[in-house]
Amino acid sequence: MRRRLTDGGTFLLQLVDGFLVLALFSCSTWTVWSSSCCNQINSYEVRPHSVSITEFGAVGDGITLNTIAFQNAIFYLNSFADKGGAKLFVPAGRWLTGSFDLISHLTLWLDNDAVILGSMNSDDWPVVDPLPSYGHGRELPGGRHRSLIYGRNLTDVVITGNNGTIDGQGSIWWNNFWNKTLNYTRPHLVELMNSTGVLISNVTFMNSPFWTIHPVYCSHVTIQNVTIIAPLSSPNTDGINPDSSDNVCIEDCYISTGDDLISIKSGWDGYGISFGRPSTNINIR
């Protein structure tokens, strides 16, 4: 992880060099390359209720828009949240969709040849309010497009599978950025807010419109064995950005993007200072 780990990359690289030897023997905050000390969350835990996205009319041809199918499936599974939780299975296919919300006690499971494709129509990514620790959109004043996979105020959320793929098809967003034709700040690929007990593992993330994985105001987040890829020319396609979050473990990930690989944040300038929630106890290895 010697490419720009943060917006203040030089400082963090010095920090990494300084603590490398200690990291081999400890699991303290900010360690890298140490033996695993993260709390292990079992991504294969059996949820008592499971459905396939095809049961809600989804078509995996890469052309049919399946946003309503995802929304309806998750709405249905919400009735099992207090009964041990549920799993939404995404089989092999190319499943085009706009933004959809996750719920608590849910496992989103992608089969090996499953690809969730982000719609290339910006209308399928609703505009939401800016984060309070950012004050306004990161790129433009006003709101921002909601992430493809979104959730807030959740507990016990898992995104995993047999290394299926979530592809944001970000090229249209990158072109609008370079051409200065954006109306709002670009969306992330995955954003979870005010959530606890989050596991993201064994999934490939590609071509995010903006930052790829953004846990913000979250606690107890584990991100393991994920692959994150975007062209080196893609603007601001950060890999993993824990933001005003605590007890985060990031390990055994392969990341190659157009900007920061991992960037630890606590809001933006004066807005972040006023919000007053630092990122703490973050382990990267």
Helix residue ranges per DSSP H, the chain? 9-23, 67-77, 171-178, 269-275
Decide if 111 is catalytic.
no
Question: How many Cα atoms are found within 13 Å in the side-chain-facing hemisphere of 94?
Answer: 10
**Any idea what the Cα angle at residue 44 is, between residues 38 and 50, rounded to 5°?**
135
CA distances in angstroms from 150 to 74, 136, 195, 218, 267, listed in the order given: 12, 19, 11, 13, 18
Spell out the residues 6+ positions from residue 132 whose beta carbon is closer than 8 angstroms to its own: 271, 275
48, burial (CB in 10 Å: exposed 0-12, middle 13-18, buried 19+): exposed
Contact indicator for 218, 199 with CB cutoff of 8 Å: no
Q: CA quadruple 66, 174, 149, 93: dihedral positive or negative?
A: positive
Give the pairing type, strands 93-97 and 61-65: parallel
Query: For residue 203, what are its two tokens?
Result: 């999934």
Longest distance between any two alpha carbons in the chain, whole Å: 54
For residue 40, the 8-state DSSP code is: P
Q: Which of 238, 243, 259, 260 is catalytic?
A: 259
Question: What length is written for the chain?
Answer: 285
Catalytic center residues: 259
